Copies of this chain bind each other. A is one copy, B any other.
Amino acid sequence: MRNRILGCIALLAVFATANAQNTDEVQLKKIYDEALTNGKAYHWLNHLSNQIGGRLSGSIQAQQAVDYTKMQLDSLGLDKVWLQPVMVPKWVRGVPEFAYFETTPGITTDVPICALGGSIATPQQGIKANIIEVNGIQELSKLGREKIEGKIVFLNQAMDATEINTFAAYSGCSGNRYLGAKEASAYGAVGVIVRSLNLRLDDYPHTGSMSYDDLPVADRIPAAAISTNAAELLSTSLKLNPEIKFFFKQNCKQFDDVQSFNVIGEITGSTYPDEIIVVGGHLDSWDLGDGSHDDGAGSVQSMEVLSLLKKTGYKPKRTIRAVLFMNEENGLRGGLKYAEVANTNNEKHIFALESDAGGFTPRGFSFSCPPENLKQAQGWATLFEPYFIHLFVEGYAGADINPLKNDEIVLAGLRPDSQRYFDHHHAENDAFEHINKRELQLGAASMASLVYLFDTYGITVAKDK
């Protein structure tokens, strides 16, 4: 008899699990169907990209993006929508940069460059000097002051094409951009030209943040990125004639910090309102393109998560917030402020998901969390298979949510296909025409599905089992 009862209980448990599995399957299908047929993310992004454009922190466009996304969140019938004040840096590019190299006096070749974000200007008349090529900052010490002083340093390290995950290739040489000016200045360089972080050969210079760190103002030198095609041409020309002179001129400027905002929308949890789930992207972008992939995509996908949960009739047990962070690109002030306020208010965040790797076809998620929670997420992998979502791996989650990290939160990042991302990253061609509606919407649906699962099961399930 006891065996029979145990058998029945076991059978009931199987049914319960099968039933839960089935409920989850049904909910995911609802989410994906809604995203692919009536999703709003693409429409929102069209406005952000084509009506507003590049949204550098402190710019009028950044404020317009705050106003627009707040208005759209207001229209979703959420429980709460608000702006979280945050002071942000304001760096302005100024008039378009200009550069050429001179092989013999009077014979010049114009090359496309752009100032790196945070760089100082050149003197008004520009800088003209000999230029010395090195592969990366790690090679500066080999040359030493003797060979570098008075020259412009040309950091020409190419991204490693054999990395399948292009973000790994990016990490492999982003130090040249971020610290090149500081490092080259120590050897007496008068300027820095960095090869654009782009796996493709083309004519777009790619900007991005750089830092002088604690370098005294007097020692700071201007830094710019050069397109990959021009980098190749310059490198070849230097091999033929090491005496080439390089000229560049830029009048970018750092202003005082200005007021800006994170934009936040919330569905308050029905059962555990104090357990908070965040889904986010960053609203600011670089100024050269319209910021469609970086990170208009993540912003509208995060808004879409709330919209999809509402439109599929799902009532979250926990509080779910979409946070559009300000100033990821050149300061991370929004991410830091959000974590600071959460901390001050003793808020308990259990899960945060960021989308900041482009609006391409989603391939899965990377998790920064205890092993048992990664295992919990991997347990849902079969639910995602019909949507061709295969990656549930350990890894970096995202810059904006990283300040929330502690032992009790699961951080995750959407992992879209990365092959095309650095063709567009921080360049003029990060433009809406390179967004595919279905890919963008599939990303939003994947995020909403993972949020649904963490909301339904919480993050302690794996430990309880």
Contacts and interface: CB of A to CB of B under 8 A. Distances in A.
Contacts of A200: 437
Nearest to A441: B161
A442 interface: yes
B419 A161 contact: no
A36 B161 CA distance: 6
A275 interface: no
Copies of the chain in the assembly = 2
A363 B33 CA distance: 22
Contacts of A391: 388
| Max chain B C-beta neighbours (<10 A), residue from A200, A390, A391 | A390
A436 to B, nearest CB: 5
Given A419-B439, A419-B442, A386 B164 contact: yes
A419 B36 contact: no
Contact of A36 (B162, B165, B386, B438): B162
A387 interface: yes
Given A32-B162, A37-B162, A419 B390 contact: no
Interface string A145-182: 00000000000000001101110000000000000000
A10 to B, nearest CB: 31
Given A391-B388, A438-B199, A162 B420 contact: no
A259 to B, nearest CB: 40
Interface string A417-442: 10110010000000000001111001
Given A388-B391, A390-B390, A161 B438 contact: yes
Nearest to A37: B161
A361 interface: yes
A41 B320 CA distance: 47
Pairs of residues from A and B, 7 with the lowest C-beta to C-beta distance, nearest first: A390-B390, A36-B161, A419-B438, A33-B162, A419-B439, A361-B417, A420-B436
